[in-house]
Structure 1
């Protein structure tokens, strides 16, 4: 089976970070190509929050890409198969002026055709390009995927990140609870 990568529904709105766009943009991460950065990516949060509770999560949301905790990053970096599919880019998280290191951003290096277009619902992004990019109102993933992968972008919808049973099992075995397997 394959699943869409999704954060838990109880992820607080107050924990949405701001992404400092300098070296790359969110669209650069959709190209499925290695990225070479001179500096870590920077995420900031300037709100009165429980820093201890915030740092207990393993995956975080921002107005740019999602990013992962140092704990999850270390687990994934040590998995040789996972790092064939995903480049982990360094990130610094700044919470109320204090820097935290070891966070990573997923740069997914492969895409696979995984959307069941007969069961999904979509419309062309541009009326002038009916066969071009689509906007999905309902996403249904095919379950007959034979490719061996850990994490990939959906070819039909680049914003959709899919994960395999292998990654789901890895998360369960390592007690990663704030990722939903939909």
Structure 2
């Protein structure tokens, strides 16, 4: 089984930003913690592009924004993800789009092959602290039946397997890109 890193690939170079309206800290989405579902999460963007709703995954600062189509695909695969309703606001026009969900990945799995990968400490003063990954090699079979997970060693990485990629191709998921190890 091969593993890949998941990226968003949107029509212009922009990020949908997690706003200060949210009580939940955006870094908690990297910890695999369940979010209380009693309120929507807020994101902002400068303007809405006419092609926005054609995309199934959006580039974000904060938890990933995904379409209903992408949400259903992940749920069919049985992956441990939580989906929270989102409200995206245009800072220029004040328009609102509430058709996306925040995908909260609950699987945080150790899958980085520390022997074969290249990495260095993010801060020289903390040699055993967070790392910067330069070249990735994954531990074989480390996702253990999960199709999507966060990498424990570097929680900014979302890792998927061949089954996930095949499902995305079959469903014609738009805005997603996969990078193989190496």
Q: Same fold (TM over 0.5)?
A: yes
Do residues 140 (structure 1) and 137 (structure 2) align?
yes
Q: Which moved more, 1:131-140 or 1:19-28?
A: 131-140
The unaligned stretches of length 5 or more in structure 1 are none
What residue is the counterpart of 1:71 in the other structure? Answer: 69
CA contact (8 A) 1:73 1:102 kept: no
Compared CA separation, residues 7 and 42, structure 1 to 2 (3 A): same
Deviations 1:121-174 (A, max 9, x none): 222234444233212233333344361002111111111110122211211111
SS in 2 for 1:12: coil
CA contact (8 A) 1:66 1:106 kept: yes
Whole-Å separation in 1 of the counterparts to 2:33 and 2:52: 31
What residue is the counterpart of 2:35 in the other structure? Answer: 35
Give me the TM-score of the superposition, normalised by structure 1.
Answer: 0.83
Runs of 4+ in 1 over 4 A off after TM superposition: none
Question: Paired residue for 1:87, among 57, 82, 88?
Answer: 82
- The alignment covers a number of residue pairs equal to 175
CA contact (8 A) 2:109 2:143 kept: no
The unaligned stretches of length 5 or more in structure 2 are none
Q: 1:88 Cα deviation (Å)?
A: 1.0
Give me the TM-score of the superposition, normalised by structure 2.
Answer: 0.83
Whole-Å separation in 2 of the counterparts to 1:128 and 1:154: 23
CA-atom RMSD in angstroms: 2.2
Whole-Å separation in 1 of the counterparts to 2:97 and 2:112: 37
